[in-house]
Structure 1
């Protein structure tokens, strides 16, 4: 667990978290923001007052960044040398530019619905941690059979029983009720249950060859979409720390911990209706995440 992180899962992979947006154990408790007025659909469809000054600053900032990007792209006469190609010059740029892709194929296969066959290096560990974070924060974790399948695919054998026991206890009848689900974990009729984690970026904090610790900065969605929902879908920001071990030709998770943030200032975008949110989550598929 990260230093100073008093909540979340312990390094041993046991113990239920009380973190407000935990992706392990599904204990992400959400805060409901209701519309200011009497209108809307009960989901948060009213528009917050526009903050024109900040919006103007944002637009100006984007324009300045675009101009700078165009100028940078035109430097060097547009030649197709090694620095801009997929060769060694471009492949080694990822360390200096964290958002740049390495150009190396992330995986060679999949284990069920989860990517597998990651490279035995820092890039492979980061790709594995990102994909495993998505799986552990998914709605499938609320189903016992699907949860066990996910854990079997991504957790190190020595840690598997601890993870399974902890999560079986966490996904209790009372917890299901707290997040708006039926007592058996099923979704009430007329609603769509949403739990989705999206990695924003990754970094290696410790590497010893066979063991690598990766931090994954994420945003996520959790809640019930539907008319009259008392648990509307909200977003959150958090950072996951995952220790991985190289076992039988792939990375497996040994420990998992989490802390809040970093979180940006909320924007001025109008909250969508419940139907729009449900349609978006059902209509837009996920990604295989790679460094």
Structure 2
């Protein structure tokens, strides 16, 4: 599909699909040189890093090399975005480890994958070692996941976890609810072929510790994540990702909710499967 063609309308949020798996297909040839670059990848510690830094330096800083800055104005040459509307196209075939998988081999499928992968990488599951390993293995190309696990284990160190308000083993202190949730606002494709795609996901995130007397109250951040995807084993997988701050709107006049109200909302409202 050419970027010059008119694409169908954009995203709608759908109920969670019935669990299943995508069918396998022949893996495209990729050079090992491209895959090694993932060792320096910026991997969605997302709002947690900025949040932790409010209380001092984070041991995870070394896991996020590269500049951080605001979103540039305008749409890059060749990038496309469309108004929000249902497309009528089934977004995903099933789920693997609770993460939507089985995307179409189209730019719509790549955008749906990028949005849902951003949600997974910004979830509270990333703060638990076993769940993090499952997430990383599910959404990354196999060669990438193998190299990335050790880097992330070092990034989510006991000191970093303590700095975001968790216990050093990643568990939540008694009487509190830990919140880490990423909400994609929109996506756009900046490069696409049948074997690779680059997708930007503009997102807002919630992170913090809800509970009476919390010194790390839940706060909101805005950021843009860029995911370089490749087609592997019949699905889109991440080869490399990076992030930057913004674009961030002006804060509204909403009254800040109390700790119990935030905790109840997190427990009571589930997330979405995002689809182009």
Residues 25 and 167 of structure 1 are in contact (CA less than 8 Å); yes or no, is this contact kept in structure 2? no
Bigger Cα Rg: 1
Shift of 1:183: 1.2
- 1:123 matched residue in structure 2: 108
Q: Deviations over 1:193-240 (max 9, x none)?
A: 000000000000111220000000000000000000000000000000
Which of 12, 16, 27 is matched with 2:37 structurally? 12
Over 3 Å counting, the alpha-carbon distance change for 1:25 and 1:254 in structure 2 is farther
Equivalent residues in 2 for 1:64-79, closer than 5 Å = none
- 2:92 matched residue in structure 1: 107
Shift of 1:28: 3.9
Residues 81 and 189 of structure 2 are in contact (CA less than 8 Å); yes or no, is this contact kept in structure 1? no
Residues 47 and 206 of structure 2 are in contact (CA less than 8 Å); yes or no, is this contact kept in structure 1? no
Over 3 Å counting, the alpha-carbon distance change for 1:143 and 1:25 in structure 2 is farther
Over 3 Å counting, the alpha-carbon distance change for 1:214 and 1:97 in structure 2 is closer
2-side partners of 1:114 and 1:261: how far apart?
A: 25
Are residues 1:27 and 2:49 paired? yes
Are residues 1:265 and 2:265 paired? no
Shift of 1:30: 5.4
Shift of 1:145: 0.6
Which of 110, 119, 127 is matched with 1:142 structurally? 127
1-side partners of 2:81 and 2:150: how far apart?
A: 41
Which TM-score applies when normalising by structure 2? Answer: 0.74
Q: Unaligned stretches of 5+ in structure 1?
A: 1-10, 33-94
Are residues 1:254 and 2:239 paired? yes
- 1:212 matched residue in structure 2: 197
Equivalent residues in 2 for 1:118-197, closer than 5 Å = 118-197=103-182
Q: Deviations over 1:106-136 (max 9, x none)?
A: 0011112001110000000000000000000
Shift of 1:140: 0.6
Q: Deviations over 1:163-206 (max 9, x none)?
A: 21111000101101110111111111111100000000000011
Cα RMSD (Å) of the superposition?
Answer: 2.1
Shift of 1:162: 2.3
Q: Unaligned stretches of 5+ in structure 2?
A: 1-35, 55-79
Q: Give the 3-state SS of the residue equivalent to 2:207 in structure 1.
A: strand
Which TM-score applies when normalising by structure 1? Answer: 0.70
Shift of 1:96: 7.1
Q: Give the 3-state SS of the residue equivalent to 1:280 in structure 2.
A: helix
Residues 16 and 170 of structure 1 are in contact (CA less than 8 Å); yes or no, is this contact kept in structure 2? no
Over 3 Å counting, the alpha-carbon distance change for 1:14 and 1:25 in structure 2 is farther
1-side partners of 2:52 and 2:137: how far apart?
A: 28
Shift of 1:102: 2.0
Residues 108 and 118 of structure 1 are in contact (CA less than 8 Å); yes or no, is this contact kept in structure 2? yes
Number of residue pairs the alignment of both structures matches: 217
Shift of 1:101: 2.7
Over 3 Å counting, the alpha-carbon distance change for 1:211 and 1:217 in structure 2 is same
Shift of 1:151: 1.1
Q: Give the 3-state SS of the residue equivalent to 2:236 in structure 1.
A: strand
Equivalent residues in 2 for 1:211-230, closer than 5 Å = 211-230=196-215
Q: Give the 3-state SS of the residue equivalent to 2:274 in structure 1.
A: coil
